[in-house]
Amino acid sequence: MGKKDNRISINRRDFIKFLTVSAVGGKALLFQAKPPMTYRRLGRTGFKSSRLVFGGGAALAGGKAVRLLDRALEAGINHFDVGSNVYYRGAERSLAPFLKRNRGKVWVASKAPPMIRVKPEDTITVEQAKSAASSWTKLMDGSLKDLGVDYIDLYYLMAVDNPSLVSCEEINNAFLTAKKAGKVGYFGLSTHKNAHKVLEIAIETGWYDVAMLGITPAGWYDWEAHDLLSGTPPLTELEALLKQARAAGIGLIGMKAVRHLAPKSAMGKGDSSAFDKYYHKNFMSSPLTPFQRAYAYVLEHGLDVVNADMQNFKHLEENIVAASTSHLYFT
């Protein structure tokens, strides 16, 4: 069970007001009433990020969710996340016009994989390390070109599950070289497999400014299995590790927090009640949907912010409410 919920100060009437949206000519308008976005300092970066990150990798690939960007900014979202064209085809190019109009208002992150094949238990060779560093640098340069910028706030080593990659000096040196050249501000890693060990090694190195983790109220999420990691402890038992990471200056971003609840057609399990057993009864009586509860819960149990893939106005507005009101349910 999670922490005791003893501050339910938002009622159903107010919640409905938050979600009231009109449609004119197929275009969603503003809330009649809307909760203000909340913000959290992201580790040693010092950046005060909206607690909801606009996850634009899949959503912007092919330009599908470009129509949501202005609404997201208007709602107070100031952190936009995409990924290299090698994985998210066209996402960075889809973000570029919005970024050009709003560069001084937003923080932008992108990411690229190391482009070498290694198992989590392998120790990479010197040749593999050099290849990974070189490939990652080239993909970063490609990201800058596709985004139409000379500088990006944060760049991740993407989908890393191998501890020896996390502690690879060649990759860290590649980042430091790019930073010295004025191409990037901060270094991140993203992982949704072997995340516990990866985060431990990241803490040890002292190199990483941000870690984006596949995590849910039930614990670690394994993207390869499209399921909870077998044997994972629940999130409440991972808070000590997350606290250690924050003490080391690492900003923590949750991702895949609700994928497990999604329909099977969206690579979920189709059980929206899967996390209910981790919640206090007062939190279960909140006006939040199961998806909103999952986002709110991870935000109040160790994660600084949460990255969400949003491809329509309904999901965007619901996630804004979850991120804006999560603090009302926990003390």
Q: Which tens digit of pLDDT belongs to each residue from 92-145?
A: 999 999 999 999 999 999 999 999 999 999 999 999 999 999 999 999 999 999
CATH topology of domain 12-329: TIM Barrel (3.20.20)
Q: H or E element: which one contains 222? A: strand 219-222
Give the integer Cα–Cα distance in Å for 322 and 34. 11
| Residue 77 DSSP SS3 | coil
Gyration radius of the chain's alpha carbons: 19
- Are 173 and 215 contacting, i.e. CB atoms less than 8 angstroms apart? no
* Average pLDDT, rounded, for the chain: 90
Residue 11 has what pLDDT?
A: 42
- The secondary structure of residue 205, as a DSSP letter, is H
Under the banding of pLDDT at 50, 70 and 90, the label for residue 85 is very high
Q: Is the pLDDT of residue 17 over 70?
A: no
Residue 16 has what pLDDT?
A: 43
Residue 14 has what pLDDT?
A: 46
Under the banding of pLDDT at 50, 70 and 90, the label for residue 8 is very low
Under the banding of pLDDT at 50, 70 and 90, the label for residue 62 is confident
Give the integer Cα–Cα distance in Å for 266 and 234. 23
Residue 203 has what pLDDT?
A: 98
Q: Is the pLDDT of residue 7 over 60?
A: no
Residue 33 has what pLDDT?
A: 59
| Residue 5 DSSP SS3 | coil
Q: Where are the domains of the chain?
A: 12-329
Under the banding of pLDDT at 50, 70 and 90, the label for residue 45 is very high
Using alpha carbons, select from 171, 152, 76 the residue that is nearest to residue 107: 152
Q: Is the pLDDT of residue 6 over 80?
A: no
- Are 2 and 239 contacting, i.e. CB atoms less than 8 angstroms apart? no
Q: Which tens digit of pLDDT belongs to each residue from 231-262?
A: 999 999 999 999 999 999 999 999 999 999 99
Residue 20 has what pLDDT?
A: 43
Under the banding of pLDDT at 50, 70 and 90, the label for residue 63 is confident
pTM for the model stands at: 0.90
Contacts 24+ apart (CB under 8 A), 259-262: 259/216, 259/221, 259/226, 260/216, 260/218, 260/221, 260/227, 260/228, 261/290, 261/291, 261/294
What mean pLDDT do residues 202-216 have? 98
Residue 15 has what pLDDT?
A: 45
